[in-house]
Amino acid sequence: MAEPVLEIRNLEKSFGALKATDDVSLDLRSGEIHALIGPNGAGKSTLVQQIAGSLKPDSGTILFQGRDVSGLDMAARARLGMGRTFQISSLAGEFSALRNVMLAVQASAGSSFRFFRPVMRDASLIEPAREALSRVGLSDRASVPAAELSHGERRQLEIAIALAQGARAFLLDEPMAGMGPEGSQALTRFLDTLRAQAPVLLIEHDMDAVFALADRISVLVYGRIVATGTVEEIRNDPAVREAYLGEGA
């Protein structure tokens, strides 16, 4: 079995009397999509924020590529290769897809010494940016302004940026949000190819996407993981059906 890239051990987080994260342990292995599902308020966002480093756990450990990152802030974790795309996009809409990647690569490389060099003529930025667009299948959209890309293509562009910045694993928090059925299906096809480049911890309400993509699913209910297993195991788990999926799921 593949080595875990990300390992969460015995994580705890309370808000007053509410245990939002209750002794959560899970891992993300190389080459897999591991989906985290659960009803509204189960604690998915709280867990993602702790993994990304924007919220401090009360106790527990987070290992990334074997290294304890529990004490590191979000920027430090991102520098180690924890990629995260946000529900609110930070793309510059008027700039081309290629330029968005180049600017991000320049920013993450610490660009002050390049201050006077026009970004679009900087060969050291063009190649990695083109390579990143190719890795997400956006090569033929390189010159299109980000604002003119479809919702799903913008997600792909955000992932290209994270890859260009050295992402080794992804935390994707509801990537299908706000998409129609066609967009979701196209993004599902893309995410299916992404696992070969970097494993994905996928938080998603769209169960068609989860069942189509997940190698494993963990089910969170009231802050606790009640089951982890394959799609088949989770579909057939009586406790999961009762707690979450409901009748006829």
Ligand X SMILES: Nc1ncnc2c1ncn2[C@@H]1O[C@H](COP(=O)(O)OP(=O)(O)OP(=O)(O)O)[C@@H](O)[C@H]1O
For ligand X, the binding residues (CB under 6 A) are: 15, 18, 20, 38, 40-46
- Residue 105, token pair as written in the block: 């690569």
**Is 220 in a helix, a strand, or coil?**
strand
Min. distance of Cβ 62 from ligand X in angstroms?
16
Write out the H or E segment, with its range, that includes residue 85: strand 82-85
Nearer to ligand X, 16 or 118 (CB): 16
Nearer to ligand X, 4 or 43 (CB): 43
Nearer to ligand X, 11 or 20 (CB): 20
Min. distance of Cβ 164 from ligand X in angstroms?
29
Q: Per-residue DSSP letters for 44-72?
A: HHHHHHHHHTSS--SEEEEEETTEE-TT-
Min. distance of Cβ 207 from ligand X in angstroms?
13
Nearer to ligand X, 55 or 186 (CB): 55
Min. distance of Cβ 38 from ligand X in angstroms?
5
List phi, psi (to 5°) of 138. Answer: -110, 15
Min. distance of Cβ 44 from ligand X in angstroms?
4
Burial 10-32 (b: 16+ CB within 10 A, else e): ebbbeeeeebbbbebebbbbeeb
Nearer to ligand X, 18 or 107 (CB): 18
**Dist. CA 213–CA 216, nearest whole Å:** 9
Task: Answer for the pair 56, 49: CB distance below 8 angstroms, yes or no.
Answer: no
Nearer to ligand X, 22 or 32 (CB): 22
Which regions of 110-207 does DSSP assign to beta strands (E)? 169-173, 200-203
User: How many other C-beta atoms lie within 10 A of the C-beta of residue 6?
Assistant: 21
Min. distance of Cβ 26 from ligand X in angstroms?
14
